[in-house]
Amino acid sequence: MDDVQRLMKRHQSIGKLSTAFLYAVLVSIAMNFFWSPGHIYSSGITGLAQLVNTLTIRNSPVVISTALGLFLLNVPLFVLAWRQISHQFTVYTVASVLLASIMIRVLNPVHLTTDPIICAIFGGAVNGFGTGMALKNGISTGGLDILGIVIRRRTGRSIGSINIFFNSFIIIAAGFAYGWPYAFYSALGLFVNARVMDMTYTRQQRMQVMIITGRPKTVIDSVQNHIRRGITIVHDAEGAYHHDNKTILFTVISRYEMNDLEEAMDEADPSAFVSISDTVKILGHFYEPKL
């Protein structure tokens, strides 16, 4: 049994490191093929690293490249993650950021276009997909991800306001550095990046599920075997058409767990009626897997 667990852990580690490498390739493509040629700033720490690079090129004899700045600016956040989140999470985060810094430095820029609108859209899309894929596979890309996890664990609040403030600063910096039209282009890139990341990373999207079934025990067992979620039971419901006895089950899942829910329902009660709707806000405990 121990050998099987070791093999599974090794397999997971290889999978996560492979994902970290793929993320590094995608962010370097976004940076070297689109953002840098189009004078577009990214979001978060990556955008701050670009700003540091711009300022040192113009005002300092020592130039700090975007690749180096990305790693150095993340170092305090690595320490925070080591102390507040977990050692394993920190190791994978360091790996993903280090690989991203290396690939940005190593991958030769290809100037496909300097059109700022095209660079903003495609750079944001490529980076958003890479970031979303990394998060989906349990890897942080560093930066504001770490702050978000720590703040949510301590206060239960999201990092939305900090993200807005930080990215507003990046957009204003783009305006001062390259002219105000580029501030709007950078804002467009941030929007595309966020939308693609949301489409790719679905763990944070909550969905309310209502199940109407005549086989409640079978459905509950099947769902909880597939997903670690609590279920609320409403007894003595009645179908209006045949007037047969039904039970209503309520639960909340993440969009990432949708396939598991569908498999559970196919196994337990394919004829059950299942209604799924997006949840805007949750008060109370909602289990999230440990990182």
Q: What is the CATH number of the domain that holds 214?
A: 3.30.70.120
Cβ burial, residue 92 (10 Å; 0-12/13-18/19+): buried
Q: What is the pLDDT of residue 279?
A: 67
Q: How far is CA 9 from CA 14, 44, 100, 107, in A?
A: 9, 31, 24, 31
> Buried (b) or exposed (e) across 30-47, using 16+ Cβ within 10 A?
bbbbbbbbbbbbbbbbbb
Does residue 160 lie within any of the structural domains? Answer: yes
Query: 218 and 75 in one domain?
Result: no
Whether residue 280 is predicted with pLDDT greater than 80 in this model: the reply is: no
In angstroms, what is the C-alpha Rg of the chain? 23
Instruction: Give the whole-angstrom CA distance, residue 109 versus residue 125.
Output: 18
Does residue 229 lie within any of the structural domains? Answer: yes
Looking at per-residue confidence, does 213 or 137 come out higher?
213
Does residue 153 lie within any of the structural domains? Answer: yes
Query: 217 and 186 in one domain?
Result: no
Give this prediction's pTM: 0.75
Residue 231 contacts residue 250 (beta carbons within 8 Å): yes
Query: 241 and 144 in one domain?
Result: no
Does residue 165 lie within any of the structural domains? Answer: yes
Does residue 171 lie within any of the structural domains? Answer: yes
Phi, psi (deg, nearest 5) at residue 157: -100, 155
Q: What is the pLDDT of residue 253?
A: 87
Q: Considering Cα of 155, then 20, then 133, then 259, what sign does the dihedral take?
A: negative
Q: What is the mean pLDDT of residues 35-64?
A: 91
Domain count within the chain: 2
Does residue 260 lie within any of the structural domains? Answer: yes
What domain range includes position 72? 2-200
Query: 252 and 222 in one domain?
Result: yes
Calculate ∠ Cα 73-75-76, nearest 5°. 90
Quick one: how far is CA 31 from the chain centroid? 19
Does residue 290 lie within any of the structural domains? Answer: no
Q: What is the pLDDT of residue 147?
A: 81
User: Where residue 151 falls among pLDDT bands split at 50, 70, 90?
Assistant: confident
Query: 256 and 144 in one domain?
Result: no
Query: 240 and 192 in one domain?
Result: no
Query: 256 and 232 in one domain?
Result: yes
Query: 221 and 84 in one domain?
Result: no
Looking at per-residue confidence, does 20 or 241 come out higher?
20
Whether residue 1 is predicted with pLDDT greater than 60 in this model: the reply is: no
Query: 237 and 154 in one domain?
Result: no
Q: What is the mean pLDDT of residues 27-37?
A: 94
What digits encode the pLDDT tens for the residues 65-106? Answer: 999 999 999 999 999 989 888 888 889 999 999 999 999 999
Query: 258 and 161 in one domain?
Result: no
Single residue among 146, 176, 200 that ends a domain in this structure = 200
Query: 221 and 169 in one domain?
Result: no
Q: In sequence order, what are the beta bridge partners of 275?
A: 210
Q: What is the pLDDT of residue 203?
A: 63
Nearest residue to 43 (alpha-carbon basis) of 178, 176, 198, 169: 169
Q: What is the pLDDT of residue 3?
A: 67
Query: 149 and 245 in one domain?
Result: no
In terms of residues, how long is the chain? 291
Does residue 284 lie within any of the structural domains? Answer: no
Single residue among 150, 176, 200 that ends a domain in this structure = 200
Single residue among 200, 228, 247 that ends a domain in this structure = 200
Strands (E) located in the chain: 206-213, 232-238, 245-254, 273-278
Whether residue 28 is predicted with pLDDT greater than 70 in this model: the reply is: yes
Whether residue 285 is predicted with pLDDT greater than 60 in this model: the reply is: yes
